[in-house]
Structure 1
Amino acid sequence: MESLQQKEHQPIPVDLIIEILSRLTSTPIARFRCLSKLWDSILRSQDFTDTFLARSLARPQLLFACGNDDGNLFFFSSPQKSSSIAAANYHMNFPCARFDNVRHVNGLVCFKDNAFALKIFNPSTGQCLTLPEIKTHGRWMRTFLGCDAIEKQVKVLTITGEHEGNAISDQHQVLTLETDKMSWRTIHCGIPHFPISGGVCINGVLYYIATEDSMIVCFDVRSEKYTFIRARGAVDLTTNLINYRGKLASLGFYGNDEAGKSFYIWVLQDPESQVWLKFDYRFPIETWSEGRKDESYSVGVTGKSEILFFPDYVSDPFYVFYYNLERKTIRRSEIRGMRKFKGVGVRVPVRVRIGYFRFSGISV
């Protein structure tokens, strides 16, 4: 029979540690990694990552990036609640060369610093990783992030070209975020093109719009193969690609009228036959404050069948709007704590899964 002293010195089961720590926020977890090699190993494990991400879905947040005239990128997060007021929490800032080329997937953000080096930022852990140098002769570069949920991998796709005015891409490279040594791989693309939109990743496929004849480019993150969709009438230079209930969709605005602000969504029903269906929506002009009906808005998508509308520039007060596609209702939430950035451009409103990813085990 074991003595009482022996029982007292029995180690805590790893499963119990994972269960307890998965209920915490990311800030104390980042500190616990420094307690010992054992705890560091547990908190870097895939079992903990999966458990923590599953719990984090119950506490989603919005991530905002603000770029000022000095070439800096400031990150804030705000709870995604049904309340009319939410506080913005500041994370950190970085030098940023191209504010319009900030990309995100699953809470990770990719951007270029003023030295034109690509960086990956994890707001949950505060880690920022500089990627290996891209060897290219191109004069322009577009960057995208894609996620393969099956293999649990995040990949960075870069597209470069010599002459931006000719809208021709001539080099495509991919890098997998992982704990081993990372390197860029050159891949083949059958149709030279010039990306004109940010990307959206749905079920392991990264989509973005290209200039050539209303073309949507489809990049399979796992196989690293390209396919293409012709979408005449469904996309143009002003539309936004979104995830519409698990399907690729394109959202655009009709403009404002006396009754309210109208928008439309083209939904790709069948990728094989490339069949699209169109839906029209409207939300009342009185929803937002007087004098703002002519503001330009960008869009995002939450995890509750809601479309998120937000101004292209920080205002005071700063409102975001949630449109419920099922109920056709809209609610407004004031984001406080960003007043000093009034008039500054804002990007990357994304539902953040507060957690770790395979690459986040890297010490940076």
Structure 2
Amino acid sequence: MITRSQKKKLENVTVVRNRFVQIPIDLVIDIFGRLPVKSLSGFLLVSKLWETTIRNGDFFTSRVLVAFIDIDRQRQLQDWYLFSPSSSSTSFVSCGTFPLPNPEREYNAHYVNGLISLGYGKEHQFITNPSTGKTINLPSVKVRAIVNEQEKLLIHGHGNRPKSTQHQVHTLGAKQKPWRMIECNIPHRCLSDGHVYINGVVYYVAYTSADLSQLSLMRFDLKSEKLDLLTSLSPDIGARHRHDSITLINYQGKVALPAKTSTYTYEVWIMDQDAETRVWSKKIFSIERCEDLIQLSLHITGTTHTGEFILAPRHYCEGFHVIHYNPDTNSFRNIKVEVNEDYEFKRRCTRAIVFSDYVENVRLL
């Protein structure tokens, strides 16, 4: 039974909401483009039109996101300081604190659609939204991506565990059963790093074969929830990455594995996963022209939507630079990440992670 005062309040809310809806959509988009993401999140409930406009996010531009990871051994924490550099300035985005049993460990982080997953094991898995500064804790989350406007999480055996056929899927925010078993008839052991999301499919590297000696590229289709082996890595690629961490990147819509072969040179193995024949091609390039940056020990961390390779150090240093290399024009763009003296992590050996093509996400975790 609705009282008279409650009815009056509902009518007032409806009137205010209708006034918002009458604002021209072009003006709404212009206003949205000037507001921080934290403010946009609060407008999702105003109207269906506003929600659709915000989630469409055409006014969000992609950029590089840099995470500097400070370790608090006494409290068993990792503090993540997130910055977004541009050619003119560096903006502080947010800071996240993660309780982890061994904070000195280099926990693997994966980025998709404005969200970052971090952690290891059954009880220390996190999803964080850098734009809003919000974090939630999840069990055994390994890979995440988006399909049909839903965030999905895939968990599986990894690390030093035996090969596994047990895999589960969880849709973030779903009301149905939280974890669902999926079928996979290919026993394998997933590497703790080396994942990339491209057009609705998650690709990752795993050990396969009876003795787990073969490095293979696996794929998980988020729409069909089908998990299978796409192709094996060639002996040349396997030998190069056998004793080094594996990074998978999206190179112009194709799966690619980059590697540093010398002080100056890099190679990138590229495969068209949609072609009938699975063939790896190789690109080689040199940064010898950037002699003033060679001492930074740069590694390929990803690509931009325009096809530039992103190179950056793996630890913080004075004069931290992010390099954009264009293989088509053989040209470089150099962005320096400016961090003021107030941050204590500058005085320690601090791990750095660079996420390419970061786009703000209004999702409320």
Q: Which of 202, 215, 224 lines up with 1:206 in the alignment?
A: 202
1:61-91, Cα deviation, whole Å (9 max, x unpaired): 4242524253313131214x344x5344443
Aligned to 2:9: none
Where in structure 1 are there 5+ consecutive unaligned residues?
A: 1-6, 34-38, 135-140
Greater length-normalized contact order (CA 8 Å, ≥ 6 residues apart)? 1
What CA deviation, in whole Å up to 9, does each residue of 1:29-80 have, x standing for no partner?
Answer: 24x45xxxxx6343896513333x21102x534242524253313131214x
Contact kept? 2:96, 2:135, Cα under 8 Å? no
For the residue of structure 2 that corresponds to 1:341, the secondary structure is helix
- In structure 2, relative to structure 1, the CA distance for the partners of 1:9 and 1:172 (3 Å cut) is closer
The residue number in structure 1 matching 2:171 is 176
CA distance in 2, matches of 1:10, 1:102: 43
Question: Alpha carbons of 1:316 and 1:183: their partners in 2 closer, same or farther (altered >3 Å)?
Answer: same
Q: Which residue of 2 aligns with 1:19?
A: 29
Are positions 1:147 and 2:157 aligned together?
no
Q: Residue 14 of structure 1 contacts residue 42 of structure 1 at CA under 8 Å; is this kept in 2?
A: no
Q: What code does the residue aligned with 1:307 have?
A: F
Q: Which residue pairs with 2:253 in the alignment?
A: 246
Alpha-carbon distance in structure 2 between the residues aligned to 1:44 and 1:121: 27
TM alignment of 1:319-338, pairs within 5 A: 319-337=321-339
Q: Are the structure 2 counterparts of residues 19 and 306 from structure 1 closer, same or farther at C-alpha, using a change threshold of 3 Å?
A: same
How many Å apart are 1:326 and its aligned residue?
2.0
What is the identity, as a one-letter code, of the residue corresponding to 1:145? R
Shift of 1:307: 1.1
Determine whether 1:78 maps to 2:107: no
1:300–1:43 distance in 2 versus 1, CA, 3 Å: farther
Once the two structures are superposed, what CA deviation does each residue of 1:320-340 show, in whole Å capped at 9, x if it has no partner?
Answer: 111112212122221111763
Residue 54 of structure 2 aligns with an amino acid whose one-letter code is T
Deviations 1:88-127 (A, max 9, x none): 4443333245642222211101123898242211111222
Structure 2 residue corresponding to 1:28, chosen from 39, 53, 58: 39
Aligned residue in 1 for 2:359 = 353
Contact 1:119/1:128, CA 8 A, preserved across alignment: yes
Q: Partners of 1:168 and 1:20 in 2: how far apart?
A: 52
1:240-259 CA distance string (max 9 Å, x none):
21101111111111112xxx
Asked if 1:226 corresponds to 2:230, the answer is no
Which residues of 2 match residues 64-75 of structure 1 at below 5 A?
A: 64-68=67-71, 70=73, 71-75=77-81
Alpha-carbon spacing, 1:10–1:94, altered in 2? closer, same or farther (3 Å): closer
- Normalised to the residue count of structure 1, the TM-score between the two structures is 0.78
Asked if structure 1 preserves the Cα contact closer than 8 Å seen for 2:164 and 2:187, the reply is yes
Percent identical among aligned pairs is 24
1:273 lines up with 2:277 in the alignment: yes
State the one-letter code of the partner of 1:160. Answer: G
Question: Counterparts of 1:9 and 1:184 in 2: how far apart (Å)?
Answer: 37
Q: Which residue of 2 aligns with 1:36?
A: none
Q: CA deviation at 1:290?
A: 6.3
Gaps spanning 5+ residues in structure 2: where? 1-14, 209-213
Q: How far apart are residue 22 of structure 1 and its match?
A: 2.6
Aligned counterparts of 2:250 and 2:114: Cα–Cα separation in 1: 15
How far 1:215 moved relative to its partner?
0.3
CA distance in 1, matches of 2:177, 2:355: 28
| Distance in structure 2 (CA, Å) of the matches to 1:41 and 1:281 | 51
Q: What is the distance in 2 between the residues matched to 1:272 and 1:220?
A: 18
- What is residue 187 of structure 2 aligned with on the other side? 192
How well do the aligned residues superpose, as a CA RMSD in angstroms?
3.1
Q: Is the 8 A contact 1:49 1:355 kept in 2?
A: no
Secondary structure of 2:107's partner? helix
| 1:107 has 2:107 as partner | no
How far the C-alpha of 1:285 sits from its partner, in A, is 5.7
Which deviates the most, 165-174 or 120-129? 165-174
2:10 aligned partner: none
- Over 3 Å counting, the alpha-carbon distance change for 1:194 and 1:182 in structure 2 is same
Q: What number of residue pairs does the alignment pair up?
A: 325
Q: Deviations over 1:169-198 (max 9, x none)?
A: 242111111353660111122222222223
Provide closer, same or farther for how the CA distance between residues 305 and 124 of structure 1 changes in structure 2, counting only shifts above 3 A: same
**How far apart, in 1, do the equivalents of 2:315 and 2:295 lie?**
15
Tell me: CA distance 1:332–1:170, structure 2 relative to 1, closer, same or farther (3 Å). Answer: same
Query: What TM-score does the superposition give when structure 2 sets the normalisation length?
Result: 0.78
Secondary structure at the aligned position of 1:66 is classed as: strand
Aligned 8 A contact 1:88 1:335 in 2 = no
CA gap 1:350/1:116 in 2 versus in 1, 3 angstroms:
farther
Contact conserved, 1:66 with 1:346, CA < 8 A, in 2? yes
The CA deviation at 1:267 is 1.3
Cα distance in structure 2, aligned partners of 1:56 and 1:87: 16
- Structure 2 distance, partners of 1:41, 1:107, is 23
